[in-house]
Amino acid sequence: MARNPLTREEVMETAASLVQQQGPRALTMRKLAAELGTAVTSIYWHIGNREQLLDALVERTIQEMGAIRPTGRTPHARIVSVGRALRTALRERPQLIAMVHERGLTERMFLPAQQALVHEAHAAGLRGELAAEAVRAVQFQVVGFVLVERNRERSPAQHPSEGELWDSPTAGHDPALARALAGPVDAEQLFLVSLEALVTSLLAVAAGDT
Amino acid sequence: MARNPLTREEVMETAASLVQQQGPRALTMRKLAAELGTAVTSIYWHIGNREQLLDALVERTIQEMGAIRPTGRTPHARIVSVGRALRTALRERPQLIAMVHERGLTERMFLPAQQALVHEAHAAGLRGELAAEAVRAVQFQVVGFVLVERNRERSPAQHPSEGELWDSPTAGHDPALARALAGPVDAEQLFLVSLEALVTSLLAVAAGDT
DNA sequence: ACCTGAACACCGTTCAAGT
DNA sequence: ACCTGAACACCGTTCAAGT
């Protein structure tokens, strides 16, 4: 029970921990009020409605992430490092992904990496629209991958549907392929392979190589 | 009011149209019952609870999509064509994406393309784990992109946050870059560029070129 | 300026009771 | 086998009333 006057900060704090522990669906105004020891309606006075609360939480989490610092020598390595760091940062905050998911705020997840990517794209010799395209390609790639990855993890069931391919005409001739597709995904490796591929192509354009 | 005995089919049909028109959030058991002219509880007898209903709808929509047929001459072109077709098919069914979103079923969206991709990867000379990796890389790429794209479209607000970069140190030196980043995304082009890049790299591996 | 309880209009789900 | 209404335990939000 909080006797001292309720604070916007206090509400945010409690809401954040609630989301962190049980996901955004569990963040109900009434539960939150109970946790805070106040009436439900007090929250409305300080924060507004549930949507605004979620928005504020998303913003807060993004702030906490801070900037992303590239590592490595070559432009290629540095851009890839930004992608990896962004994925790591997002995966460390599954609640963020879930909240962004629930509302339509994916582009918020782009922000932490954007400055760094712009800088690196420029350093790699990309200019103007081409640089913008490269920045966005990496952002879409990374965020998209993380969305798929998380969504996959959320799914409780095994993925037996992929087993269908075991006896598909093509896979039947290639047992190793069938086995690999039936098995679990090595997300880490898949992420790296895809990102490397993308960056390679983007930089090939910069080098004048078509 | 439906006097004839309620059918599982009838429930699914009505539920589908409800989702199509107003999104999965509007699919409430009570609204659905009202639409059908029955008591809410009848639905439970035929279908089960809301989760099972959504699962069934997802499955149904996937079935409707049917198989994806590659076009083009070269392996590269054919794989890219599968990616494009998959994206188009998904974008034509925004309700599917929303439903899959709400539940954790992303991998269901992988299925329509998988057979075709396996075939094409094989035709391109990829075998075993390498082929599996290529198939999955394309799947993740396409589905991830569509997820980001859709989520972006759902967001009502403009994206002023990207304007931040206008006066970022790097972008400041490159007005064309700043302008491009502040403007809207050409999703179509971004998708193609990324997909082409990925496929090029995946096939380079097949050609023995490291 | 801040907090409150009552009330409204919704939910999904269960269950005993009907035919 | 199929359908029903009542009931339970939840929601978010508004609003008039308090201090």
What's the whole-number mean pLDDT along residues B76-104?
Answer: 95
At residue B2 the predicted structure's pLDDT band, cuts being 50, 70 and 90, is: very low
pLDDT digits (tens, 9 = 90+) for A66-84: 999 999 999 999 999 999 9
Please determine, for residue B19, whether its predicted confidence score (pLDDT) is greater than 60: yes
How far is C-alpha A47 from the geometric centre of its chain's CA atoms?
25
Neighbouring C-beta atoms of residue B190, cutoff 10 Å: 20
Domain count, chain A: 2
Q: Rounded to whole angstroms, how far apart are CA atoms B76 and A102?
A: 36
What's the whole-number mean pLDDT along residues A187-199?
Answer: 96
Burial of A75 (0-12, 13-18, 19+ CB in 10 A): buried
- Tell me whether residues A148 and B144 touch, CB distance under 8 A: yes
Residue A172 domain flag: yes
Same domain for A29 and A106, yes or no, is no
What's the whole-number mean pLDDT along residues B54-80?
Answer: 96
What's the whole-number mean pLDDT along residues A73-102?
Answer: 95
The beta-carbon neighbor of B198 closest among A135, A159, A198 is A198
Instruction: Lowest mean pLDDT of A1-5, A60-64, A83-87, B168-172, name the range.
Output: A1-5
Percent of chain B with pLDDT over 70: 90
Place of tokens 């994925």: A87
* CATH number of the domain enclosing B126: 1.10.357
pLDDT digits (tens, 9 = 90+) for A101-145: 888 899 899 999 999 999 999 999 999 999 999 999 999 999 999
Interface probe, candidates B55, B101, B141, chain A, greatest A C-beta count within 10 A? B141
Do the Cβ atoms of B171 and A114 come closer than 8 Å?
Answer: no
| Protein CA B30 to sugar C1' C12 (Å) | 9
Considering only residues 26-65 of chain A, list those whose CB is below 7 Å from strand D.
27-31, 40-41, 44, 49-51
- Tell me whether residues A168 and B110 touch, CB distance under 8 A: no
Same domain for B101 and B192, yes or no, is yes
Q: % helix / strand / coil in chain A, to the nearest 5? A: 75, 0, 25
Residue A152 domain flag: yes
Please give the model's pTM, rounded to 2 decimal places: 0.93
- Tell me whether residues B101 and A185 touch, CB distance under 8 A: no
Please determine, for residue A25, whether its predicted confidence score (pLDDT) is greater than 50: yes
For residue A207, what pLDDT is reported? Answer: 73
For residue B156, what pLDDT is reported? Answer: 60
pLDDT digits (tens, 9 = 90+) for B121-180: 999 999 999 999 999 999 999 999 999 999 988 876 545 555 555 556 676 678 899 899
The rounded mean pLDDT for chain A is 90
How far is C-alpha A36 from the geometric centre of its chain's CA atoms?
29
- Domain membership of residue B185 as a residue range: 63-207
Same domain for B122 and B203, yes or no, is yes
List the end-to-end C-alpha distance of chain A, in Å, as a whole number. 66
Please determine, for residue A18, whether its predicted confidence score (pLDDT) is greater than 60: yes
Helical pair A187-206 and A128-154, crossing angle rounded to 10 deg: 170
Total residue length of chain A: 210
Same domain for B67 and B147, yes or no, is yes
What's the whole-number mean pLDDT along residues A32-40?
Answer: 97
Same domain for B180 and B109, yes or no, is yes
Token pair for A53: 């609360």
Residue A56 domain flag: no
Please determine, for residue B1, whether its predicted confidence score (pLDDT) is greater than 50: no
